Structure 1
């Protein structure tokens, strides 16, 4: 049986200060023409700006778009959160420039039409305790069997932090500024839908799995629906891995300079540089 490979793209949270050095000439030109402030932040390795939604999502996308230039086509592409936009570009639903404008729009809508908020990773066995205590905090992601992410608005973070520490719950605060994958993102999601409707794409040349749909894309309407729902529905990365198994994918390649998804992915996962012997 032939080896079936899937490419996976991480989203916001995977950023790191030196990421700008991985931009290709093409990616650098696209960003320079329309978002010089982002290029300046990458050059200065400005950690504060590079945690803001409006900047970090297109920054991570540009790194991923640069790496995909060097890759052979896989059997399947997928992404985690905003990583799905890079996956759709590899599948040739959009070209790199259009994908950049769309991920910029997602970042803008998320920053402008959603409340400031937090996302925090906690043990799975603390999920019901936390959600039962805080009705305004929502499940945002099931990343692994033993870790989930919950999210809420900025005003709730102090009380939740106190609760976690008082109850000796281990937690990791994520480097994001909005409560993604919760109902708090509904206004941003509707604006994203409208933007996608006026920026049509092509049918995928490679199969694309979207987490919110729990299946591969069959039409551009699926893309619109999957990305819109993806802002307000929790990610289930466990279901994604089950889909990989059912599809007889043998290897998952994380397309990013540093390991991120592999930290919470039980499916056999390789970094793009080691798997394809790339010099980054």
Structure 2
């Protein structure tokens, strides 16, 4: 029976009520909620079951990571083998943990530090330069977008996410994004969609956080992965703990190269590709990248149970 190649979603996939069904289904997941809550300093069950959208957004990185790890735990409890992992931006942390590079306590400790550094860099950028934003460019590939950005030479505007051959996210000053819109549409973009994200993530605005984050990671216990892990920094495998520290620090200021991840996954044989965590963002990107296998969505108890039953037949 084919094992799973697990993909873990990144920031923006949070939703009220996610992972609560997994919490009720598993004692181990309930223990994970308690562990993550102790590290985050808040009751995560209450946050996800009763908290406001604003509260959830403030704790998004922890909540998303918790949902991904909870889904991973449920799959393993039902005897489903996961042999490879990759994560989109934040999701890369869940991938490393699931591959045995570090434990859950270390994972949520890293998430807390990563969140604090990214928030600090975003505040500094807004104070110095003004309003920030992101926009999805549909219909152009990463190379075309980077060339156009170089030609435009607009202040503080960068390619941040290489999602698919027809989808790239740019990030930076809102004023520059507004100025760029008409040019991108003239040059062949089919759509130009502003996104509800204010942080200039995966751009040089985050560069100042790279070294402090690396120093922090160097102080944590890590091991070489026991499964294949593909980094979203460059689409290459992580083979050592040193690789893990390097990629995790670099990814703060480097673009997410998800197209490269998808190209490597295309070469994978005899594995079910699944989004392990809440939502279907990565399921959609599998389709946009023309990955031959259909990508499953395994982030809720009902879909996980249905998948397990189907495999048992």
Per the alignment, residue 271 of structure 1 pairs with: 297
Equivalences for 1:206-245 in 2 at 5 Å?
A: 206-245=227-266
Per the alignment, residue 56 of structure 1 pairs with: 60
Q: Are 1:119 and 2:128 counterparts?
A: no
Measure, in 2, the Cα distance between the counterparts of 1:163 and 1:214. Answer: 28
Distance 1:50 1:131, change over 3 A: farther
Distance 1:83 1:252, change over 3 A: same
Per the alignment, residue 109 of structure 1 pairs with: 117
Q: Secondary structure at the match of 1:212?
A: coil
| Corresponding residue to 2:160 among 128, 140, 146 | 140
Measure, in 2, the Cα distance between the counterparts of 1:159 and 1:135. Answer: 6
Q: Is the 8 A contact 1:143 1:265 kept in 2?
A: no
Q: Are 1:35 and 2:40 counterparts?
A: yes
Per the alignment, residue 26 of structure 2 pairs with: none
Deviations 1:223-243 (A, max 9, x none): 011111111111121111111
| Corresponding residue to 2:201 among 162, 167, 180 | 180
Measure, in 2, the Cα distance between the counterparts of 1:185 and 1:113. Answer: 6
Q: Is the 8 A contact 1:12 1:176 kept in 2?
A: no
Distance 1:249 1:109, change over 3 A: farther
Measure, in 2, the Cα distance between the counterparts of 1:150 and 1:38. Answer: 35
Q: Secondary structure at the match of 2:156?
A: coil
Shift of 1:37: 3.9
Distance 1:216 1:184, change over 3 A: same
Unaligned runs of 5+ in 1: none
Measure, in 2, the Cα distance between the counterparts of 1:173 and 1:249. Answer: 38
Distance 1:167 1:241, change over 3 A: closer
Per the alignment, residue 99 of structure 1 pairs with: 107
Normalising to structure 1: TM-score of the pair? 0.87
Q: Is the 8 A contact 1:253 1:275 kept in 2?
A: no
| Corresponding residue to 2:71 among 51, 67, 70 | 67
Most deviating of 29-38 and 182-191: 29-38
Q: Is the 8 A contact 1:192 1:228 kept in 2?
A: yes
Normalising to structure 2: TM-score of the pair? 0.78
Measure, in 2, the Cα distance between the counterparts of 1:177 and 1:167. Answer: 21
Unaligned runs of 5+ in 2: 24-28, 127-131, 309-313
Measure, in 2, the Cα distance between the counterparts of 1:32 and 1:234. Answer: 30
Q: Are 1:79 and 2:87 counterparts?
A: yes
Most deviating of 94-103 and 121-130: 121-130
Per the alignment, residue 15 of structure 2 pairs with: 16
Distance 1:42 1:132, change over 3 A: farther
- Count residues in correspondence: 273
Q: Secondary structure at the match of 1:178?
A: coil
Q: Is the 8 A contact 1:4 1:251 kept in 2?
A: yes
Root-mean-square deviation (CA, aligned residues, Å) is 2.5
Shift of 1:66: 1.0
Q: Secondary structure at the match of 1:171?
A: strand
Q: Secondary structure at the match of 1:191?
A: helix
Measure, in 2, the Cα distance between the counterparts of 1:49 and 1:275. Answer: 28
Q: Secondary structure at the match of 1:17?
A: coil
Per the alignment, residue 52 of structure 2 pairs with: 46
Q: Secondary structure at the match of 1:143?
A: strand
Q: Which has the larger radius of gyration?
A: 2
Distance 1:175 1:26, change over 3 A: farther
Per the alignment, residue 164 of structure 1 pairs with: 181
Distance 1:37 1:185, change over 3 A: same
| Moved >6 Å (runs of 4+) | none
